[in-house]
Structure formats: C-alpha cells, structure tokens
Structure 1
C-alpha cells in the first residue's frame, strides 16, 4: 500500500508548484522583453551606428544595475577569477551577439532573422549533450525543441525563407549570435552561487568597457545626430530589454537550466505576433495558429520538471 504523503511533502509540493509558476511568468516576461528588443534595435540603428548603439545599451544597463545593487545592499563580486568569468559571459551574451544582430538587422528581414535567431534551444541541447553533459537531455526535451522550432516556421511562414542566402554574410552573423546565446546559457550555470543581479551587472560592465572605446574610435559619437525615436528606442532597449531582462535571465538559468531558459527564443515569436494582432490589426492564417500550438507544446515540454516515482513503504 503506498504511503500517504506527509505534511512536509505536501508543503514542499505546493512550494515547488508556486516556484514553477513564478518561473513560467518570468520566462514569459523575458520573452516579451527580448522580443521587443528587435523593434528597438531596428529603430535605433536608423540613426545610430550599431557599435555605438550597443555600447550605449551596455553602458546604461551597467549603470542601472550597479545603482540597483547598491540600493539593495548587494555587493559587486571581487577577485580576478570571477571577473574573468564575467568577461567570458559578456562576450557570449552581449558584446558579440548584440553587435552582430544590430549590424545584420540593417539588411535582414525580420521574419528570417526571427527564424535564424530562434535556433538557440537546438544549439543549447546539442552543447549540453555533447560538451558539458551537466543537464540530462530527455526525449521530452528533444520533443520540445523540435516541436517549438516547427512552430516558429509555421508562425513566420515559409515565404520568408525565399530570402535565405541573399544577404549571406548578415544571415551568418545572426547564426553566429545564436550560437553565442546558446553558449551563454550553458556557461551561465557557473554563476548559480551569485545573486542574479551580480553576473548581469558584471557582464554589462565588461561589455561597456570593451564597446565604449570601440565606439569612440569607429563612430566618433559626438559627431552623430540621432533622432528622438532612436534615442527613445535606445533607452527602452537599455532599461527593459537589457538591465531588467538580464536579471530575470540569470535567475532562470539557475532554476530552469540552460535548455529551459532558451525556450524564450520560441516564445518571442508568438508574443510578437500577438502584439501585431492587438496594436496593428493583423490576423493569423490557419498555419500560424497551428504554429502557436506547437510553440506552446514545445515550451511546456522543455520546461516541465521531471516526474519522480513516489517512494513506497518498505522500499
């Protein structure tokens, strides 16, 4: 006869369910923040060169995160070893991919860029399976990765693939950024002993230290005349899609793991479609609705906790 769960077990189950609900809400928030970043980048690069845009993005985000940590009494980590790790994370998660995407979005259509950049869960699974082996890759997670990617293609539509190869260098830049994002999610596990704001701030500080001098040399920003819409996009990109988003990101890497966290790459697309329906009066074809169902099923499969067999008396 199976043992009845104790009061502690029931409490732990309820706490776990509550934590899982918070993780899903944060994953949705992160997907929204990063989904909106493509629009902000497109508006920003209209009058601000890519290197300067990303340099300002990281510098503003770093300043905001440091101020927030100071207000909360969170200490910035010290020591060469942890800052070397911040430098690696900065290269993988901001300096290289931010700059590549900002440059590529000057020529690559949004639909094709979405497909190319939504492959990070696939790359994260391969990296976890073949290289780090720190997270068990189950059949359920593989199902989620494949189903979610199929859903992306259905939502965006195969017509955007007609431009594949026309701006080959820019498209390869987006693929390279996608690889960087997947590597960042895997490497981000090394910061599980730190508050989520610490690696977010540390990586932004390193990113600004690299990009601001590059901007001064390459673009001479004092000679630029950015429009108000580009400046507003830069501010939104820095505050919401970077400072706030990265705190959420590092928290989710710790709780959902790299593969689960990269599921936000799939969620960005239906969120963007939803924004278009609400604010632009757009509609979806039947195939796109099927794609939304695939994305939801894929994300659920990638993020649901594994079931544990209940322990019976006498075992």
Structure 2
C-alpha cells in the first residue's frame, strides 16, 4: 500500500513535468514563425537555415562533449542521423522560411499545426497501432483537414497566378516532415537526447551549408540589419538547439503522437505573437480554420474519459 501511494504522486509529477515541457516547446517553436518573418526580408531561406542549424549543431556538440557523451562512430547510426536531420530540420525549416516570404507568420503557424493528423494517417497506412485507432480519431483527422482547407481559403484554389498557394503547400509539406521525424526518431531511444540532437543537427548542417552556397551565394549578400541577425541567433540557440533537446526527451516519453500534439498550441502562440509583434490580423477563414484544426487535434490526441470512471469497483 505505501509503495503504491508513493508511486502515484511520482507518476503524476512526471506527467505534469512532461506536459510543462510540451507547453514550453510549443511556445518556443510558436515564436520561431515570428522570428523567421523578421529575418526573411534580408536573409534568404537557405542561408538562414544553414546559419541556424550550423550554430545549433556546434552548441549541441559542445554541450554533449561537456556532459561526457561521445558521438557514435557507426556509419549506420550516422545514416539514420542524416535522415533525422533532413526530416526534422533541413527540409521543414527551409520550406517554412520560404513560405513565410509569401504568407503571414500566423497563417504559417496554423497550417503547421497538422502533424498529429499526418502521424495518425501514417499509422493507419502502415498498420501501426491500428488497434488503437478509433472512429473519434478518424473524425479528428477529418476535422483537421477541413480546417486546413478553410484556413487556406477558396482564394487559394483560384489564385494560380500567385505564390501564396505554393507557400501554403510548402508549410504543409513541413508539417508532413514533422510527422515523419518523431516516428523515425524512435530508433534513437537507446541514445541520450543530447547525442541524438547533436548528431541530427550536425547532419542538417552538412546538408544545408552546400545548398546555401550553391543556390544563394551568401557571401555576395549585403550585411543584414541587426534585428535580422538577432532573430537568426535566437532561432539557432533557443528555437533549435535548446528545443531539440526537449523534443528528443519527449519522443522517448510521450511518443510521436503525444509529441506532435503540441502543434496546435504552437499554432496559437504563432498567431498571438504575429498579431502582437508584426501587426498581423485575423481573418474569419483563419479563425474558423484554427477552430477546426484545434478540434481535430484534440479529438486525435486527448483520450476520452474512461467509461467506468467514478463507478465503484466490484
């Protein structure tokens, strides 16, 4: 009896701590949309991402070394790190940064709230956890996709002559990458989170540095203003290096669907910060779309109350 009494509060504390980490991660990544919008007018997307992931990789490697962790030497592990770096950082960071040239940061945040739906669809298609897929979750996926459609708006279907529909699709592509990343990242459960983050981010830097050099020749660019440089530094240190350690910790404890469930909170933070800092405003389609997306994610991620809750045992 005493052992059980001691275990329950410990488990409750652990869950509370993990939810707190999830909220913190949502706030950090929600702010990244605003920071990208600040930097993107003067720092092109490939260059921004290359600087962001390189600074983060250096920090993470140094922290791992300071904690006494050595990076793996097996080629197979580094091949897996390369895929993780592409899915979690290189591809989605670039897609979002390019997308925000053409759309508001708040809209990008709302469209990027969809990874939980993609995770569930992938689980259905791959046969994983099929026994845990309920009609409620399927309805949630439908609500989320409806929300994306409403958020993009009817104009997106007819605006073939503009870049905005492509920008919206780019942000959705980033969401798909974010859905695949935690599923792939489960294979690193035997490694400390800091080692996984350092290895994956190093591979992202290896991918992005030559891409930026070839496509944008950053040495030919004018020196960006101080506020743009500061935005990229915060993106690298807080929104990438620090956030990735939290992210890989949560993958180990909450799993892919639980970790991506913070996306709808991230969307709310992105819209709020975009409105407060950048003067962006709501439209009715964004409000309605956000409501549908939130409802869909809640239906997918929050378990229904137990039927026997409150009934006496016996």
CA contact (8 A) 2:142 2:296 kept: yes
CA contact (8 A) 2:33 2:109 kept: no
Q: Give RMSD over aligned pairs.
A: 3.5
Work out which of the residue numbers 86, 97, 100 in structure 2 matches 1:102: 97
Please list the CA deviations of residues 178-223 of structure 1 after superposition, one character each: whole Å capped at 9, or x if unmatched.
Answer: 1111011211111111111111111110111111122222222222
Unaligned 5+ segments in structure 1 are: 1-5, 311-315
> Aligned partners of 1:64 and 1:138: how far apart in 2?
40
Q: CA deviation at 1:274?
A: 4.6
TM-score normalised by L of structure 1 = 0.82
Unaligned 5+ segments in structure 2 are: 310-314
Aligned to 1:313: none
CA contact (8 A) 2:186 2:251 kept: yes
> Aligned partners of 1:136 and 1:121: how far apart in 2?
17
267-276 or 243-252, which deviates more: 267-276
CA contact (8 A) 1:36 1:272 kept: yes
Aligned to 2:219: 222
Aligned to 1:258: 256
Please list the CA deviations of residues 11-36 of structure 1 after superposition, one character each: whole Å capped at 9, or x if unmatched.
Answer: 22222111100110000011011101
User: Do structure 1's residue 164 and structure 2's residue 161 form an aligned pair?
Assistant: no
> Aligned partners of 2:208 and 2:98: how far apart in 1?
14
54-63 or 159-168, which deviates more: 159-168
230-239 or 270-279, which deviates more: 270-279
Aligned CA distance change for structure 1 residues 11 and 161 (closer, same or farther; 3 Å): same
> Aligned partners of 2:154 and 2:264: how far apart in 1?
21
Aligned CA distance change for structure 1 residues 239 and 255 (closer, same or farther; 3 Å): same
CA contact (8 A) 1:147 1:294 kept: no
Please list the CA deviations of residues 62-99 of structure 1 after superposition, one character each: whole Å capped at 9, or x if unmatched.
Answer: 01111111221122222111111101111111111111
CA contact (8 A) 2:116 2:297 kept: no
CA contact (8 A) 1:111 1:160 kept: no
> Aligned partners of 2:132 and 2:273: how far apart in 1?
33
User: Do structure 1's residue 231 and structure 2's residue 239 form an aligned pair?
Assistant: no
User: Do structure 1's residue 196 and structure 2's residue 193 form an aligned pair?
Assistant: yes
Off by >6 Å, runs of 4+ in structure 1: 276-287, 291-294, 305-310
Aligned to 1:3: none
CA contact (8 A) 2:140 2:296 kept: no
Work out which of the residue numbers 81, 86, 89 in structure 1 matches 2:81: 86
User: Do structure 1's residue 37 and structure 2's residue 37 form an aligned pair?
Assistant: no
User: Do structure 1's residue 212 and structure 2's residue 209 form an aligned pair?
Assistant: yes
